[in-house]
Amino acid sequence: MKSKCAGKQTLVFSAPPQVISSAAIVGEMEGQGPLGSYFDEVLTDDTWGEDSWEKAERKMFEQTVRRALEKVSLQTGELDCLLGGDLLNQIISANFAARELKTPFLGLYGACSTMAEGLLLGSMLIDGGYASRVACAATSHFSTAERQYRLPLEMGGQTPPTAQRTVTGAGCSILAESGYTGQMLYRNVFVAAATIGRVIDLGITDASNMGAAMAPAAADTLSTHLSDTGRSIRDYDLVVTGDLGGFGSEMFLELCKDNGVDAERRHLDCGNLIFSGSQKVDSGGSGCGCSASVLNAYLLERIEQGDLRRIFFMATGALMSPTSGMQSESIPGIAHGVVLERK
């Protein structure tokens, strides 16, 4: 790899792009969770006035981008590129939102790792000198995910304790070149580096235990990142995983230990943060919108305020589909990571 690369999979940004704004919109249940007061909008109707859940999901994606731009008085036409995706087949939420936003658009599919994949590529667009301002966004919706991946909600099917609840939510970050002089919501948050994940599969076949399917990929990306950069876990205030949930987080910490990394006291998981123990959500939240909304509502604000100086934000994706499951395939996972720093 070349000068801007550290080790095997890590990109180091020589002029770290700045996160100048963000927004997050979530569903009612997410709004009732511990982070409720941080979100820009909490829906009270899960169709948000649209005639389908899918159209509501698309509206969340679009409105989150518009909201993040409005906070810093930017127009959609001032964006050089929008990068994003969602969990629906053919990423229709992102595609149809991009149609309304009319910006140049790069569609991504990284399952629940999409927010980190977007930040990684968006930062490269800016640091590489190809763009001045980009938006990175991701969304998911409980009811569209259930309809597509599982069974009709009307059946009232039971879930095992390892199951996670797909978050109804969307998040968007606006990145700008280092030294940006326009209006800013955040002045201190930079993307310093990023690690591209590999697809890892330890043979998990239980679609109700996706945290376990993603944990090996998260442990692999974290180890690679530390080895690529020559850092230790103590160089980070937090390692934040996307949506491993309760069981997946335990497995992640065990696997890290096997790799010689003791992440226990420095680890938080967005799937654990977004719902409280008293909400009936089995093993926590999941979905692209989980890490996207927690990052863009809560984590960026904590970095801006100085509570956190450097975090490794590692969104995790389970890469199965109903078709691959029916064809007896196990569930591979991937985790992309970005280093967010206060400067």
Q: Which positions lie near its own copies, rule CB under 8 A?
A: 1-5, 8-9, 11, 51-52, 54-55, 80-81, 85, 87-92, 95-96, 98-99, 102-111, 117, 120-121, 124-125, 127-132, 148, 177, 196-201, 319-324, 327, 329, 332, 334, 336
Please, what is the minimum distance in Å from the beta carbon of residue 36 to its own copies? 30
Shorter beta-carbon distance to its own copies: residue 216 or 246: 216
In angstroms, what is the minimal distance from the CB of 121 to its own copies? 6
CB of 156 to its own copies, least distance (A): 22
Tell me which residue has tokens 């981008």: 65
Regarding beta strands 165-166 and 285-286, do their DSSP bridges make them parallel or antiparallel, or are they unpaired?
parallel
Cβ-in-10-Å burial (0-12, 13-18, 19+) of 80 comes to: middle
Looking at the Cβ atoms of 148 and 259, the one nearer to its own copies is 148
Instruction: Considering the complex, state which of residue 31 and residue 216 has its C-beta at the smaller distance from its own copies.
Output: 216
Contact between 197 and 334 (Cβ < 8 Å): yes
Distance CA 273, CA 317 (A): 17
Least Å from the CB of residue 40 to its own copies: 24
CA–CA distance, 294 with 103 (Å, rounded to integer): 25
Closest to its own copies by CB, 162 or 324: 324
Q: How far is CA 9 from CA 47, 129, 264, in A?
A: 40, 21, 24
If we measure between CA atoms, which residue out of 39, 257, 288, 265 comes closest to residue 164? 288
Cα-based angle 334, 337, 343 (whole degrees, multiple of 5): 175
Query: In the bound complex, what is the minimum distance in angstroms from residue 304's beta carbon to its own copies?
Result: 25
Which residue, 129 or 230, has its beta carbon nearer to its own copies? 129
Nearest distance from residue 20's CB to its own copies, in Å?
A: 16
Specify the residue, 55 or 150, whose C-beta has the smaller distance to its own copies: 55
